[in-house]
Structure 1
Amino acid sequence: MGSIYLIRHGQASFGADDYDVLSPVGVRQAEVLGSHLAQLGLQFDRCVSGELRRQQHTATAALAQLEAAGVGIPALQVDAAFNEFDADAVIRALLPDLLPEEPEALHVLRNAAQNRAEFQRLFARLIGRWISGEQDKEGLQSWQGFVEQVRGGLDRLLADAGNKDSIAVFTSGGTITALLHLITGVPPANAFELNWQIVNTSLSCLKFRGSQVSLASFNSHVHLQLLKAPELITYR
């Protein structure tokens, strides 16, 4: 069987003007991951990333550790199918309908770094409305559209893969959530309950034979746990 390793990007710059940049913690997480992969003796036949900078930086930082350990690595390929959904667009489109129920929401979302728990609660409410499909907005990618985007990326991976290939995919939490939904059939709402638990630079593994895909492991972050440094275990 072949293996696809889904790797969530390192910690991004939550609360900053540009979220799509790895924080110093995110860079360290990616380096630790790469060293761990080298210690495991993993060799990849193909490495793929979404287009986002935080995804590609995670890939290059991790793969550099493999290369430093003498492990041959293929050139990083980019496929936009593994991009994250546009969370800012979801918030902008669906927030107006939520404000009558949550009058403080705009203030919380504008000051997310200072209101992390309340931000998460409000964001989860907005995501719930988005995945329901009952509040689709013109110009906003729907949940179903996002799922089809991710499905296309997975189909392309499988079509080009050898029977025993090992493939690394550097991506994001929402993309992994969509794949969980596609592969296991878990309802979107339950998939997002898992989403909130996905650790930065965690590994989830899919096994495939032809077009048949199954989930082998989810959200492994032992490479961070072994360091006994709680500050390296982050979720955003």
Structure 2
Amino acid sequence: MGNLYLIRHGQASFGADDYDVLSPVGVRQSQALGEHLAQLGLRLDRCVAGDLRRQQDTARLALQALHHGGSPVPAIETDAAFNEFDADGVIRTLLPGLMADEPNALDVLRDCANNRSEFQRLFAIMVQRWHRGEHALDGLESWAAFIRRVQGGLDRVLDGAGSGDNIAIFTSGGTIAALLHLITGVTPDQAFALNWQIINTSLTQVKFRGREVALASFNSQAHVQLLRTPSLVTYR
């Protein structure tokens, strides 16, 4: 059987003007991941990443560290199917309908860097309404369309995979939630409950044979836990 390693990107710049940039912590997390994979002696046959900057940079830094550790590394293939869902679009579209129940929501979102826990609570509500289709989406990618996009990316990877290949997929938390939904059959609510637990640069391992897939492990954090640096364990 082959292995897919679903890897969430390193910590991005939450609360900054451009979220899609790795923070210094995100850079170190990505390097630590590659160093750990080199210590394990893992040989990657392929590497696929979404086209978001944080996904590409995580892949690049991890592969650099893996190569420095003595392992050959593949080129990075890009497939936008593994991009995150449009979180900003979800907020813009669903925030007006949230205001009646959460009158302070706009203030929280304007200063999300200093209101992380409250932002997460509100964001989880909006994501739930999005994937349940409880509001008009006004051109926003729906949950069903997102699932079709991710399924297409997974099918392309599997169709191009060799027997026994080890393939890294650098992606995002919401995309991993969608893949968990597709692979295990958990509900969208359950998938996003798991999503909120996925740390930056964690590994989720999926075994495959042809197009048959099975979850082997979820949200492995060993590469940062072994460094005994709590600041490297981040969720956003």
The alignment's TM-score, normalised by the length of structure 2, stands at 0.99
Which residues of structure 2 form unaligned runs of 5+?
Answer: none
CA distance in 1, matches of 2:211, 2:189: 26
1:160 maps to which residue?
160
Residue 10 of structure 1 and its aligned partner are, at CA, apart by 0.4
Alignment check: 8 A CA contact 1:67 1:73 kept: yes
Where does residue 130 of structure 1 map in the other structure?
Answer: 130
Greater mean deviation of Cα atoms: 129-138 or 82-91:
129-138
Question: Do residues 8 (structure 1) and 13 (structure 2) align?
Answer: no
Moved more, 54-63 or 129-138: 129-138
The corresponding residue for 1:112 is: 112
CA–CA distance in structure 1, aligned partners of residues 188 and 135 of structure 2? 15
**Cα distance, 1:134 vs structure 2:** 2.4
Aligned partners of 2:187 and 2:142: how far apart in 1? Answer: 16
Q: Name the SS of the counterpart of 2:25 in structure 1.
A: helix
Q: Which SS does the other structure have where 2:107 is aligned?
A: helix
The correspondence of residues 141-220 of structure 1 with structure 2, limited to 5 A, is: 141-220=141-220
Structure 1: runs of 5 or more not aligned: none
Secondary structure in 1 aligned to 2:7? Answer: strand
Distance 1:40 1:105 in 2: 45
**Deviation per residue, 1:114-171 (Å, 9 max, x gap):** 1111101100100110010222412100011111110000000010001111100000
User: Partner of 2:222 in structure 1?
Assistant: 222
State the distance in 1 between where 2:197 and 2:36 align.
21
Partner of 2:74: 74
Which stretch has the larger CA shift, 177-186 or 66-75?
66-75
Q: Is the 8 A contact 1:136 1:142 kept in 2?
A: no
SS at structure 2 position matched to 1:170: strand
Deviation at 1:110, TM superposition (A): 1.0
Where does structure 1 differ by over 4 angstroms across 4 or more consecutive aligned residues?
A: none
CA distance in structure 2 between the aligned counterparts of 1:136 and 1:75, rounded to whole angstroms:
41
AA in 2 matched with 1:161: A
- Structure 1 209/136 Cα, relative in aligned 2: closer, same or farther at 3 Å? farther
How high is the sequence identity, in percent, across the aligned residues?
A: 67
- If the length of structure 1 is used for normalisation, what is the TM-score? 0.99
Q: Distance in 1 between matches of 2:53 and 2:62?
A: 14
For the residue of structure 2 that corresponds to 1:48, the secondary structure is strand
